[in-house]
Chain A
Amino acid sequence: MDIQETPLPGVGLRHEFTTAAGRQLGVVTHLTGRRDLLLFDPEDPDACQDVIELSDEDSDALAELLGAGRIAERLGRLRQQVEGLAIDWLPIPPGSPFATGTIGDTRARTRTGVSIVAVLRGRSAIPAPGPEFRFEPGDTAVVVGTPEGVSALAGILRG
């Protein structure tokens, strides 16, 4: 999907793309937060046949109508493709035996078969941490494995 971005100095930003059927659609995001939905004129490719002003609620409603269905569909497809897959966010509380240990210390993969694919610390995320990565109390580990393995790891991390 080729989405073109054009800055409109003093106004905001315009994004546009061509639909599979050949129509051109666009959105102007104003500095004030207002959004305009653009329907380009098929006969005059430079002009807009219609400009529809959308408030914040309008944009949310439209996005939900257009997008929510797709997200649920994608999640469903993911679960179908890998039967028995569980993804979870496990906290490392201050009382945990691994609160200041490394990932290697937990031996999560060996004991439960679960992989720790990312660690959330405060507002930042550390992707693909290695076995020498050291936790801090309050971290959250993003884990992937079988549902039973993830439960077991949760118990281990809680201490």
Chain B
Amino acid sequence: MDDHTAVLLLELGGMLLGLGILGRIAGRFGLSPIPLYLLAGLAFGEGGLLPLSAAQEFAEAGAEIGVVLLLLVLGLEYSAEELAAGLRAGAPAGAVDLVLNFTPGLAAGLLLGWRPLAALVLGGVTWISSSGIVAKLLDDLGRIGNRETPVVLSLLVIEDLAMAVYLPVLTVLLAGESLVGGLLPIAGAVGAVGVVLLLALRFGPAASRLVFSPRDEVLLLKVLGLAFLVAGLAQALQASAAVGAFLAGIALSGPAAHGARALLGPLRDLFAAVFFVFFGLQTDPAQLPPALLPAAALACVTAATKLATGWWAARRAGVGVRGRVRAGTELVARGEFSIVIAGLAAGAATLREPQLRPLATAYVLLLAVLGPVLARLAEPLAGLVRRRAAPARTAP
């Protein structure tokens, strides 16, 4: 073993061990580990405490794999019927979600003097709630059986499906096309996504039978290989690797999906952690303080808009006041998707917006912490809302 290997292993070992310790600390306080991973990346990247030289290449490749695995496992958890049902039931709520939560990001970007494309990216960052954090919250707070939970879950489904359209559009625009000139490639990319989705729904069960193997190592290699191939193909078609991985996950069903979920969980955790750290590594901590104020303002506004979205969707489903507040607060957390979108955009040479990374990092840091806190405060908050409503009702 030579010097380079030693440095690589030492850096990787230190990084992963550190991430593990951070994850344990986060678990102790009932927090998501995402903010801590971001902070770790900030501490060690450019302008940070210790630049990581040898591990950088691993982190870069690992980050790409992390995105693919995040979306693959997400797709594996959904079946075709759930997607169709979620779309039908939640389409109006999804529209409200889009309008209320995309607009603040878009407006903020334009107000800050960013180019329209960068503002479009910021809109995506503020729009999508973190499926991972919400799922964990529902479990931790014992709300999985609540009546407002299907409302929250189908909103997340719609956001995921919307991402399958938003990401290809973004990828095409980031490749240097203008909005008008890019209409054809955009239509092509979105069309390709639609075709693949239909193929997945139609031939998914057959593909799953081909892929399935009772031997773990064979199943793991087949599923990973398939997912990477589809993701790579999607990226080549400018539909974004993340969307390809998501579609590959949706296509797989039955025993293949069940087995793959179990095998991929730990891999996903590892590479997702690397993904967040890598994003932080590439963010210059010196740029963070000036981004804090706009991030905080954006966080407050979009926390309120998610509350409103959850309230509206839950009320439409016939849920009571306390349930509506619970639904709203559960949706506030932003996390992995916002970083995926910001990472996709910041990596593109055409964007040239140096403020995007620091602003997205600060924004996700704030909401990944604030979201779970608000969700835990849902009961007292609901009490406040009811007390304010009661005097109005009893007034003559």
Contact = CB atoms under 8 A, between A and B. Distances in A.
B236 to A, nearest CB: 29
Given A8-B150, A10-B77, A31-B258, A50 B86 contact: no
A134 B138 CA distance: 56
A47 B323 contact: yes
B85 interface: yes
B312 interface: no
Interface string B60-82: 00000000000000100110011
Given A26-B145, A28-B145, A47-B143, A9 B86 contact: yes
Given A45-B147, A47-B146, A9 B320 contact: no
Nearest to B90: A9
Interface residue tally on A, bucketed by range: 20 to 34
A85 B177 CA distance: 81
Contacts of B106: none
Nearest to B75: A10
A61 interface: no
A71 interface: no
A6 interface: yes
Contacts of B396: none
Nearest to A25: B145
Given A46-B323, A47-B326, A10 B156 contact: yes
B323 A44 contact: yes
B149 interface: yes
Contacts of B147: 45-47
B142 interface: yes
Give the interface SS of chain A, mostly helix, strand, loop or mixed. strand
A51 interface: yes
Nearest to A14: B145
Interface string A14-45: 10100000000010100110001010100011
Contacts of A10: 74, 77-78, 82, 131, 135, 153, 156-157
B144 A51 contact: yes
Interface string B83-101: 1011000000000000000
A32 B138 CA distance: 16
Nearest to B318: A46
21 contacts: A7-B82, A8-B144, A10-B82, A10-B131, A10-B135, A10-B153, A10-B156, A11-B77, A11-B153, A16-B145, A26-B145, A28-B144, A31-B258, A32-B262, A38-B145, A45-B320, A46-B323, A47-B143, A47-B323, A47-B326, A48-B146
Given A10-B131, A26-B145, A46-B323, 13 more contacts: A7-B81, A9-B83, A9-B153, A9-B156, A10-B74, A31-B261, A32-B261, A38-B145, A40-B145, A44-B322, A47-B147, A48-B143, A51-B145
Interface of B: 74, 77-78, 81-83, 85-86, 131, 135, 138, 142-150, 153-154, 156-157, 258, 261-262, 319-320, 322-323, 326
Question: Lowest 9 CB-CB distances: which A-B pairs, in order?
Answer: A38-B145, A46-B323, A46-B147, A51-B142, A9-B82, A10-B77, A48-B145, A9-B157, A9-B86
